[in-house]
Amino acid sequence: MASYDHQSSRRSTVHAKSLARIRMELARTPDAPEGARDCGYELIAPLDPDGYLDAEAWRVRRGECSVRRFWSGTDEEHGRLIHIRDHRWAFSYAPGKDDDEAVWRLDNHRFVEGEYISITEHDGVTRPFRIVRVRPWPAAFG
């Protein structure tokens, strides 16, 4: 009778996990009462089948997990999605912690179109963003 190796089976499942391309746009704020399509983030991140960030898959594919911050009137910023201990996540644009943007309870957010996420940005202001698109990566937005 052949033995079954649960550990190697789990590893192969993680390697097979796909990434998603997620677009979030600024939701309504006092400064943008209608929200802003030209201010937001695009992420490349591993999601589980229910739409939550998958930390185990991130460990395997972290080099592919990225963030792009776009904001009208400013240069785009490109960085990495990072996983910090205690189930915390952040966007990091340079080595060190000074520029990291913490994302409150990101591990508990479902990345589903129409949901909202709060991000504390470089200026210390927490702003709401609406998830407007979630697509398999690498697939172009249509």
Can you name the residues that pair with 81 across neighbouring β-strands? 91
Task: Provide the residue-wise pLDDT of the chain in tens; the chain has 142 residues.
Answer: 433 333 333 333 433 467 999 999 999 999 899 999 999 999 999 999 999 999 899 999 999 999 999 999 999 999 999 988 777 888 888 877 766 676 767 778 899 999 999 888 878 888 999 999 999 987 544 4
Q: What pTM does this model have?
A: 0.80
Q: How far is CA 20 from CA 67, 122, 135, 137, in A?
A: 12, 25, 5, 5
